[in-house]
Amino acid sequence: MNLTIAEDVGTGPAARRENGGRLAAVARGETVPAEVHDALARETPALTIQRFNLWYGDAQALHDISMIVPRGKVTALVGPSGCGKSTLLRSVNRLNDLVDGVRIEGSMRIGDREIYDRAVDAIELRKRMGMVFQKSNPFPMSIYENVVYPLRIDGERNRRVLDEVCERSLRGAALWDEVKDRLQDSALGLSGGQQQRLCIARAIAAEPEMLLMDEPCSALDPIATNKIEDLIDQLRGAYTILIVTHNMQQAARTSDFTAFMYLGRLIEYGPTEAIFQKPRLIETYDYVTGRFG
């Protein structure tokens, strides 16, 4: 197997053709080791993934993913459609458990606890992780009830606690000033961007350890997108954020680390600056500059 190294980048069409073999090899189903930058070794991992495989029925969606998600940093997952980045994200809070016929192998750990351990309660796990979806999904209830939903299902009834969490979360999601006078109105009356920020408020209401974002801006207009990105910037440090995005500029603007995936495999993973400006692999370069994908 011909491994490509970073020096090859930009050495001309010939090299590119030659190196194009890496993605082709992936497409053929061959094992291709991921190119992981050294900078990651210096980070404290919030989440450690080792040799993680996932099948939907007979179709393998994730191949041997091994990576760490650094604590308190924003990590972006990029890659063409169907590369498994959303699947990887949904594996972190075991949302894939709900899909029939899903099978996994390998390990995924938060701290030193194995997520897929039999003893781990998926419901407890999900309470420690907030998730924001591609399409905002406020519940058919008031703004207030939406935000405190994670506490409600825990049986919290103390009005003072709920009020406090509601305000803190909405402030955290930069939505408080816009909705503080109509907390009892239906959440479905908010604009698309507000709905998405409401979902973020809901995701951080239970003070999770991690925030999983699955293309949170893809259904939003540029102004709303801008607000969400600002928000992600503010949440940086307080939360470990794993974000899936299709938008290269967004990944470049918001994330500290970027992982490039292709057909269920991790191809290259490193600091965002390096991935976008000096990727080690020609394939990554091609993708982040929009040459394919």
Give whichever of 138 and 279 is closer to other proteins, judged by the CB atom: 138
Q: Which of 184, 185, 167, 187 is nearest to 176 (CA)?
A: 167
Give whichever of 60 and 186 is closer to other proteins, judged by the CB atom: 186
Output the smallest distance, CB 247 to other proteins, in A.
20
Distance, CA of 26 to CA of 30 (rounded, Å): 5
Output the smallest distance, CB 141 to other proteins, in A.
7
Output the smallest distance, CB 196 to other proteins, in A.
11
Give whichever of 110 and 199 is closer to other proteins, judged by the CB atom: 199
3-state DSSP call for residue 23? helix
Sites of contact with other proteins (CB under 8 A) = 93, 95, 98, 100, 123-127, 129-131, 133, 135, 137-141, 149-150, 152-154, 186, 188-192, 195, 199, 202-203, 206, 212
Displacement of CA 175 from its chain's centroid (Å)? 22
**Contact of 62 with 54, CB cutoff 8 Å:** yes
Output the smallest distance, CB 127 to other proteins, in A.
3
Give whichever of 82 and 192 is closer to other proteins, judged by the CB atom: 192
Q: Which of 283, 242, 278, 285 is nearest to 265 (CA)?
A: 283
- Which tokens is 1 given? 């197997």
Give whichever of 12 and 140 is closer to other proteins, judged by the CB atom: 140
Give whichever of 74 and 213 is closer to other proteins, judged by the CB atom: 213
Cβ-based neighbours of 36, under 8 Å, separated by 6 or more = 67, 266, 268, 269, 270
Distance, CA of 263 to CA of 37 (rounded, Å): 20
Instruction: Report the sign of the C-alpha dihedral through residues 89, 93, 95, 96, in that order.
Output: positive
Output the smallest distance, CB 189 to other proteins, in A.
4
- Half-sphere exposure (CA, 13 Å, Cβ side) for 178? 16
Strands 240-244 and 210-214: parallel
Output the smallest distance, CB 139 to other proteins, in A.
6
Angle 227-232-238 (CA atoms, 0-180°, nearest 5)?
Answer: 140
